[in-house]
């Protein structure tokens, strides 16, 4: 009698269930965000938090099955999304802004981070929390916070708090900044430059620039183009800032929980620079860039959903008023620095 060996069972990677869940959460966040006009990253976090506090248990079987995949999404997918952000950089357009405008972008990032770190220390916040808020509010929102988190390994609660605050305060600037620009009598170039230098997220800058182009503030239009280009000048500073954070983290020494020293130049930062260089060549067609942008947003949404699943409401109860106060200060501080820079480069007529 001939015995036929049984075919080996098909085994999915242990991360598959969690990754599928994160993909579903990201899809829901993207669809809802488009339908109701709310930032999908914030929706993704909220969905993850809601699931973690209603349908999952901290030590339940479902949590153990999903944990490998959510860990991959929260770390690996997040870093790939940050790297793809480099494809949004238009280096020639950024350089065409002129040295004055580029100096304003540098001042916003440098002074924004320094001032926020200073006040955060006065408020008694830990180094990782105030650093995440400082970089997120001074550079490019959630992507900057995620990049910095990759260098310092902050607690999940701190990163989630920072992203939520970026979305809340940045969204509040969408109607406020055009109103202020109109009241101050700014033209399209001035208003667009102010928006690009002050608003946190790239998507929020697009919303503000679009609003400016549809008002009397912009005159002949063009505020959106100026705003996005100035914003991308700030995004370009993500790489040197992240590298500087890595150096600072190494000098601070390893913590007892993690004996590894943070890398000076992590792989996702190399990917960010490579994507920026690829975009500068001009060989990528517009459809490919649109697809890459959609992939980037989807990856970040999946990562934010994964981060949300690791948050319990009892964790958030201990946040207190200090991070909120620091985020409010950072928003005002960056906005004032940006406005001062606008007046120096393009004085009021």
pLDDT in tens, 165-222: 887 788 788 889 988 998 888 888 899 999 999 998 877 787 788 778 766 555 545 6
Q: Which domain holds residue 257?
A: 22-345
* Residue-level pLDDT at 196: 92
Alpha-carbon separation of residue 256 from 217, 317, 327, 333 (angstroms)? 54, 26, 29, 35
pLDDT digits (tens, 9 = 90+) for 291-314: 998 898 899 889 878 877 876 666
Q: How far is CA 243 from CA 130, 131, 173, in A?
A: 17, 14, 29
Strand, coil or helix: what is 258?
strand
| pLDDT band, very low/low/confident/very high, at 6 (cuts 50, 70, 90) | very low
Q: What is the DSSP letter of 200?
A: S
pLDDT for position 8 = 45
Q: How many Å apart are CA 50 and CA 44, to the nearest integer?
A: 10
Half-sphere exposure (Cβ direction) of 149: Cα atoms closer than 13 Å: 28
Predicted pLDDT of residue 260: 47
More confident residue, 326 or 92: 326
Residue 319 has pLDDT above 80, yes or no: no
Mean pLDDT value of segment 229-244: 85
Looking at per-residue confidence, does 255 or 157 come out higher? 157
Any idea which of 9-18, 90-99, 112-121, 319-328 has the lowest mean pLDDT?
Answer: 9-18
d(CA 309, CA 22): 9
Give residue 151's pLDDT: 79
Residue 250 in domain: yes
Average predicted confidence (pLDDT) for the chain: 81
Once rounded to an integer, what is the mean pLDDT over residues 140-148?
84
Mean pLDDT of 67-94: 79
Q: What would the mean pLDDT of 316-321 be, rounded to a whole number?
A: 71
- How far apart are alpha carbons 334 and 116 in whole angstroms? 9
Residue 27 in this model has a pLDDT that exceeds 60 = yes
Give me 113's structure tokens. 């981070």
The larger pLDDT score, comparing residue 234 to residue 167, is at 234
Q: What pLDDT is attached to residue 256?
A: 37
* 8-state DSSP, 154: -
Asked, for residue 127, whether it belongs to a domain, the answer is yes
| Element at 189 (helix H, strand E) | helix 188-198
341 falls within a domain: yes
Q: Does some domain include residue 1?
A: no
5 within some domain: no
The phi-psi region of residue 253 (left if phi > 0; otherwise alpha if psi is between -120 and 50; otherwise beta) is left
Instruction: Please answer whether residues 275 and 242 qualify as being in contact, where contact means their C-beta atoms are separated by less than 8 angstroms.
Output: no
Q: Label residue 12 by pLDDT band (50, 70, 90).
A: low
Q: In the prediction, which pLDDT does 312 show?
A: 67
Does 107 fall in a domain?
yes
d(CA 126, CA 165): 17
pLDDT of residue 174: 81
Q: What percent of the chain has pLDDT over 70?
A: 83
Which letter does DSSP use for residue 88 in this model?
G
**Residue 215: left if φ>0, alpha if ψ -120 to 50, beta else—which one?**
beta
Q: How far apart are CA 13 and CA 292, in angstroms?
A: 26
Q: Report residue 254's pLDDT band, with 50, 70 and 90 as the boundaries.
A: very low
Q: Quick one: pLDDT at residue 60?
A: 60
Give the mean model confidence (pLDDT) for residues 75-84. Answer: 81
Is residue 5 predicted with pLDDT exceeding 60?
no
Q: What is the pLDDT averaged over residues 120-147?
A: 90
Q: How many structural domains are present in the chain?
A: 1
Q: Any idea which of 66-75, 168-177, 219-228, 267-276 has the lowest mean pLDDT?
A: 219-228
Tell me whether residue 61 is in a domain: yes
Confidence grade of residue 4 (pLDDT, cut at 50, 70, 90): very low
The answer to the question of residue 17 being in a domain is no
- Per-residue pLDDT, 10: 41
């Amino acid at each position: 009698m001939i015995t036929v060996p049984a075919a080996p069972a098909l085994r999915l990677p242990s991360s598959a269930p969690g990754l599928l869940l994160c993909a579903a959460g990201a899809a829901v966040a993207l669809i809802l965000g488009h339908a109701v006009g709310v930032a999908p990253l914030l929706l993704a976090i909220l969905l993850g938090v809601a699931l973690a506090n209603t349908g999952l248990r901290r030590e339940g079987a479902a949590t153990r099955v999903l944990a490998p995949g959510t860990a991959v999404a929260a770390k690996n997918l997040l870093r790939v999304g940050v790297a793809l952000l480099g494809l949004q950089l238009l280096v020639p357009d950024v350089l065409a802004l002129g040295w004055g405008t580029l100096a304003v972008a540098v001042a916003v990032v440098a002074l924004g981070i320094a001032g926020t770190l200073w006040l955060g220390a006065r408020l008694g916040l830990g180094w990782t929390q105030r650093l995440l808020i400082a970089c997120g509010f001074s550079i490019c929102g959630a992507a900057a916070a995620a990049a910095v988190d990759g260098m310092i390994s902050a607690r999940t609660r701190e990163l989630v708090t920072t992203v939520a605050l970026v979305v809340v305060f940045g969204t509040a600037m969408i109607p406020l900044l055009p109103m202020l620009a109109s009241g101050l009598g700014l033209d399209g170039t001035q208003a667009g430059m102010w928006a690009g230098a002050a608003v946190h997220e790239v998507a929020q800058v697009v919303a503000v620039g679009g609003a400016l182009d549809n008002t009397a503030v912009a005159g002949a239009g063009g505020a959106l183009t100026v705003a996005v280009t100035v914003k991308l000048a700030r995004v370009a500073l993500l790489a040197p800032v992240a590298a500087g954070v890595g150096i600072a983290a190494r000098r601070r020494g390893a913590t007892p929980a993690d004996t590894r020293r943070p890398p000076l130049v992590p792989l996702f930062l190399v990917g960010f620079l490579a994507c920026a260089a690829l975009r500068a060549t001009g060989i990528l067609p517009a459809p490919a860039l649109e697809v890459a942008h959609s992939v980037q947003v989807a990856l970040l949404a999946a990562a934010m959903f994964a981060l949300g699943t690791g948050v319990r409401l009892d964790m958030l109860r201990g946040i207190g008023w200090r991070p909120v106060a620091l985020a409010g200060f950072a928003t005002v501080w960056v906005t004032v620095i940006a406005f001062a820079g606008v007046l120096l480069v393009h004085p009021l007529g």
